[in-house]
Amino acid sequence: MAKLIFSNLVSLDGYCAGPGGDLSRLPMGPVFDEHNLALLKTAGTLVFGRITFGLFQNFWPQVEQDASAGPVLAEIAALTGRLDKLVVSDSLALPATAPWGDAEVVGRAQAHARIQALKSNSDRDLLAYGSHVLMNDLLAQGMVDELRLLMGNVVLGEGVRLFESGLPAALVLIEERRLEGSDIVMLRYAGVPPV
């Protein structure tokens, strides 16, 4: 059975993006990219909320066509292009001719059942980056098997909070380490189903 893994870069004060969804102040770079590539190699399906899907859909297909992209980014682009994709959205209309137009789109009401079916029928993990609204919903339902928080060495002071206020979720710390060559600390948690 596959696991559902969420990976999120977050500021020390708990923001996954600055005001208006601005990601530019979060510490991304080669070490961050290498971590994401290693995680992608374990995945069979990428899971997205609508906003994160749009960001990835607009960025990675262009990187895949960019001959000047470095080897790590090129491999990430190729993997994200090949992997199956599930988008949870009640509003996304995805033309087949669009980049990643073959992604499966399911409404929120069907999302829990569809994700559980994918977990049950796959030996490769489901992986989600960002998608904090979806993450909060699935955490509250006890459906997240693993949460990787990449704590960046920055305080944003405002923006988009990673965790919703009052979120009921139990997590068990199973690994903590500094990503070599960076000031990012990876905190890896196992999800605990609600009682």
What pLDDT, in 10s, does the model give residues 162-184?
999 887 778 999 999 999 999 99
The residue-averaged pLDDT of 37-56 equals 96
Computed over every residue of the chain, the mean pLDDT equals 94
- The number of domains in the chain is 1
Instruction: Answer whether residue 105 is part of any domain.
Output: yes
Q: Please report, as a single letter, which amino acid is at residue 191.
A: G
Q: By residue range, what is the domain housing residue 111?
A: 24-126+170-185
Question: What are the distances in angstroms from CA 41 to CA 34, 80, 157, 195?
Answer: 11, 10, 34, 33
Instruction: Answer whether residue 109 is part of any domain.
Output: yes
Instruction: Answer whether residue 58 is part of any domain.
Output: yes
What pLDDT, in 10s, does the model give residues 77-92?
999 999 999 999 999 9
CB 174 within 8 A of CB 188: yes
Instruction: Answer whether residue 131 is part of any domain.
Output: no
DSSP 41: T
Q: What is the pTM of this model?
A: 0.94
Instruction: Answer whether residue 136 is part of any domain.
Output: no
The residue-averaged pLDDT of 11-18 equals 96
pLDDT band (50, 70, 90) for residue 192 = confident
Instruction: Answer whether residue 42 is part of any domain.
Output: yes
What pLDDT, in 10s, does the model give residues 101-154?
999 999 999 999 999 999 999 999 999 999 999 999 999 999 999 999 999 999
Model confidence at 73: pLDDT above 70: yes
Sign of dihedral through CA atoms 31, 37, 40, 42?
A: negative
